[in-house]
Chains A and B, each alone.
Chain A
Amino acid sequence: MKRKEFIKKATLGSFAAIIGTEIVFGSKILEGYTPLALQETDPFKLFKKNPEMVVLNDKPWNIEAQAHLLDDKITPNSSMFVRNNGLIPENIDIDSWTLTIDGESVTKEKTYTLTELKSKFKQHTYQLTIECGGNGRSEFDPPAKGNQWTVGAVHCASWTGIRLRDVLEDAGIKSNAVYIGFHAKDIHLSQDPKKEPISRGCPMPKALQDETILAFKMNGKDIPIVHGYPLRLVAGGWPASVSGKWVDRISIRNKIHDGAKMTGTAYRIPCKPVAPGEKVKDEDMCIIESMPVKSLITYPKTGAIIKKGEALKIRGHAWAGELEVTKMEYSIDFGSTWTTCPIESPSNRLAWQHFSATVNFPQEGYYEVWARATDTNGKAQPMLLPGWNPKGYLNNACHRIAIKVK
């Protein structure tokens, strides 16, 4: 839809400017046709992303933020990471879009139009932290397979929609229900229509939480197409892959959902700790549920040079999956000493929390400011990498920025 709008607004002149040559017979192009050279072009324009975002992969699209781009309390679209497993669905028609609730454990299979969903169920708005399970993968040694995310595959936007619980209960949940699994309209990379790029889900207790919603809006507007327009499942605090985009079917399962990327090494970690590089059998892998405690310094951008005697204001966000952050600390001496700083309460459960501090440096030189959050269970972020796992998930090691005092 966005691409169509973009094309509509664009004149032949701008086509030519983008392609870098004149389109011969340009005037004969049918209205609404996208010249081949314009398809899948500049992702920053296509998805309205900040030019400082980093493209890790262009087929499928995987784009991450840098820490300083995530400074807003509520993340704007321009700084939100993109993690797609397949190709974005084409020709989305909201009038014919439906959501079906089915599965072994549904009382009666039911299908709803978007209008029905919007009018029949009460709408709620929550700020929800969504972090890619593989955020921080690039630091693992031996390296882990997949997109090499650094720190920017996390965001906390404001999502508006209806509770998944309300819809599931309307269709009816049998007492033997254990899991839900979503199905969506994205296209498998091999173009095989029988294959789903991703079909994940969560256990019933997570599916029935107040904050687990089927969202229509993000930051008060229609969800951008790349983030799941027109309907996205949003399950804050869990790996972002649970928050399925372009959802058109949700199955209530009588067993753990076995869709694409629920098995093997995908979004699973060894049930028991293993040595770096160790081989792990499939049956010894466990599905990731809540994400671990973590934080990011979003101001200033790493590399700041300040004058001797000047105090440095820092700020950022901290989150803890299903839990809350109860303590925030920073260190300027590589963890020898830590100073506690204020951390705000979340605006609602599963929203990230904001911290700020004023840092003084004893003398000129090179420093690193390290940030460390602690959750309600007393677990703090490690300074080194946490346990190695075959696919490099759950790296919640302390974030740090480099500072020079002159």
Chain B
Amino acid sequence: MTKEERFRAQVKKVYRLVVFTFSLFIVTGGILVYYMFNPNFLNFDSNTETFVVTPIELDEDRIENGIHVSTGLVDADGLMTVVNNCTNCHSAKLVTQNRMSAEGWNTTIKWMQETQNLWDLGKNQEVIVSYLVKNYPPKSKGWRMVLTDIDWYELED
């Protein structure tokens, strides 16, 4: 074999190696890309239903029609202070169900601090209480309320 022939053979060898490596790269990459979009294809027993994708509500701070969607609280001054301090242990529903004066809320906060591990609210206490008194004021009910929200229907026997 001449020097030139040996050189050609070497070039061919290198060329084949490069082509092989490159193809391997393409194939592996292709498989990986396919896997990214179809993570189930290696599980031969899994079903292949497709689902309509509706994005989940991820924005915890979204306000709609004046209501903080994730808690149901009214959007007003002090909202986020209430969300951050009053919805860790219990649901906001426990807050919105109740109607109290500033004194009532302060007593309730004191009770939660003494018995339920609520932290010291510092300056936030005033923000929270004024938010609650303003947005969830007590309603007068008297000794018996009129029946309201009646859903009328024809009674079939």
Contact = CB atoms under 8 A, between A and B. Distances in A.
A190 B39 contact: no
Interface stretch (A57-65, A105-113, A172-180, A229-237): A57-65
B40 A21 contact: no
Interface string A29-67: 000000001000000000000000001111110000000
A402 B150 contact: yes
B48 to A, nearest CB: 11
A303 interface: yes
Given A60-B90, A190-B116, A397 B144 contact: yes
A373 to B, nearest CB: 17
Interface residues of A, number: 54
A200 interface: no
Interface in B41-62: 43, 46-47, 49-51, 53-56
Contacts of B46: 12, 27
Contacts of A303: 150-153
A57 B98 contact: no
A33 B152 CA distance: 45
Contact of B56 (A19, A141, A143, A385): A19
Contacts of A27: 39-40, 43, 46
B152 A57 contact: no
B98 A142 contact: no
Interface in A292-351: 300-306, 310, 312
A228 B63 CA distance: 38
Contacts of A368: 147
Contacts of A143: 98-100, 138-139, 141
A28 B39 CA distance: 9
A13 B140 CA distance: 50
Given A16-B51, A148-B98, A192-B117, A59 B90 contact: yes
A61 to B, nearest CB: 9
Interface string A357-396: 0000000000010000000000000011100000000000
Contacts of A139: 141, 144-145
Contacts of A195: 117
B112 to A, nearest CB: 9
A183 interface: no
A142 B98 CA distance: 11
Interface in B86-143: 89-91, 93-94, 97-100, 104, 108, 111, 115-117, 138-143
A1 interface: no
Contacts of A402: 147, 150
Interface string B15-35: 000000000000000000000
A22 interface: yes
Contacts of A246: none
A273 interface: no
Those 9 A-B pairs whose CB atoms lie nearest each other, nearest first: A190-B117, A141-B141, A304-B155, A59-B91, A189-B89, A384-B143, A20-B54, A148-B97, A16-B51
Interface of A: 11-13, 16-17, 19-22, 24-28, 37, 55-60, 139-143, 145-148, 188-190, 192, 195, 260, 264, 300-306, 310, 312, 368, 383-385, 397, 400, 402, 404
